[in-house]
Chains A and B, each alone.
Chain A
């Protein structure tokens, strides 16, 4: 495996009030991947991004980007990093094109009107280029923030809750844009509350809680390892107890015996096969049913499970 584009080791951040926002975080990000950082509010997601981007001063630990220690070579590293913040923070009195051109210059790149036009067109902002940002809708302002972050063609892009508060159409547009950037080789780290977003786009997923990384894994591997199948079988007649012929299955009676609930499998399809066996066993046992609802656990289920597990500890 090649050297990581971002290597975080033992990163800890304790704020002045004593809050430990990051607790000995280790994280490696490979070039070209899309990494989704999931976690509830206050988990430390934004602090982690802030520490890499220079908004937060780490208490201890090291951050290496592009093979260089960011404490020593921060200018060079930052010129290759883009950040889209969570808050809609823009210069309201500036026009769109000036704001985006300014960002490119701020990061040390020469003016490039073709690049600016390309970015604005890709975000459907070209027609609004001469409008003041204050006149734009919330969704459009978020597009401006993305355009500013992309103006200097970053190799590593941080998206902090990129689709928070935006409509479905814009969310889909952003997913498409992120996919385009992946194809260009841009490494993307995003934080999100929308698990479906991570499920849709990410190659790897990290779960953070109380400043600690609980798990980092390939999205598919995580779903395979922690995924489950849940099936609900509505019975034609309620049962008082699970018949002995079915006791080898991981099932329970719910809804006053009117339904059988199966929870099992491992995210590889084993669960579905077992549900099929269960239905055959039901017929063999003379138990009639009137409906079956089968679903695989989502990343959200896994995330909720992990967080609940940590809370229980």
Chain B
């Protein structure tokens, strides 16, 4: 009796990664170029005129935030496109009629989206060394945290891809909610720099905890508790898994 279709999950995973290679400019080169421009403008050009933040040079200070900016947007868009396109083209019939369930689908689609994000993260960190001097105080924790964020937002993207019934909806959450929250979440500054009451208001932005969690793994200090950052990220991951399990159980937007 088949309990988990490993080959099915692997097939989806490989196919999704191949799709990224097929669209290498959009999937890899484009985000690397964008992040490099941020490093040039904020890291090298403006960064030299900025004071150190918490003992970290400004150019190095923004590395975790910029990395997170790319991780969030790429994980979300990769996973959402991954599941939306089969729905849009009708090829979802094959997935639904195949012996694959929620576990195989998550390993395949979300695993591939998270892998692409991790590859991208590695490329961006390597690229960053060309523009700024930075070090990673807790490399193992940083790697774990990056994987956790990539997985969580790939799951989130998967939900978006199931929810969206047109291309506009597919882009609306990343563009109108995720991107502004990330910019306002301390990517380019410490929330200590905000005047009252905005420094308190900023704590309502969940991205603040993500940015600061990753920043702590890099430099050992952050605006918020590292435990809270990890806890919230894990909670978000659990919430996304639960939502996806319900989607598969009810067939919402997948099965008639």
Chain A: residues with CB nearer than 8 A to chain B? 15, 47, 50, 53-57, 73-79, 81, 83, 85, 87, 89-93, 98, 102-103, 105-110, 148
Contact = CB atoms under 8 A, between A and B. Distances in A.
A90 B3 contact: no
A76 B1 CA distance: 6
A12 to B, nearest CB: 14
B2 A108 contact: yes
Interface in B85-100: 89-91, 93-100
Interface of B: 1-3, 5-8, 10-12, 15, 18, 22, 89-91, 93-101, 251, 255-256
A108 B7 contact: yes
B50 to A, nearest CB: 45
A169 B93 CA distance: 27
A169 to B, nearest CB: 26
B159 to A, nearest CB: 20
Contact of A54 (B6, B89, B97): B97
A248 B251 CA distance: 63
A106 B8 contact: yes
Given A55-B96, A55-B255, A81-B97, A73 B1 contact: yes
Contact of B90 (A76, A87, A103, A105): A87
Contacts of B3: 75
Contacts of B10: 105
B251 to A, nearest CB: 5
B99 to A, nearest CB: 4
A102 B19 CA distance: 13
A79 B99 contact: yes
Given A53-B93, A106-B11, 14 more contacts: A15-B256, A53-B97, A55-B255, A56-B256, A57-B256, A75-B3, A75-B101, A91-B89, A92-B89, A102-B15, A106-B95, A106-B98, A108-B5, A148-B94
Given A91-B89, A106-B11, A108-B5, A76 B99 contact: yes
A74 B255 contact: no
Contact of A108 (B8, B18, B89, B255): B8
Contacts of B22: 93
Contacts of B12: 106
Contacts of A54: 96-97, 255
**Among A75, A89, A106, A109, residue most surrounded by chain B Cβ atoms (within 10 Å):** A106
B90 A57 contact: no
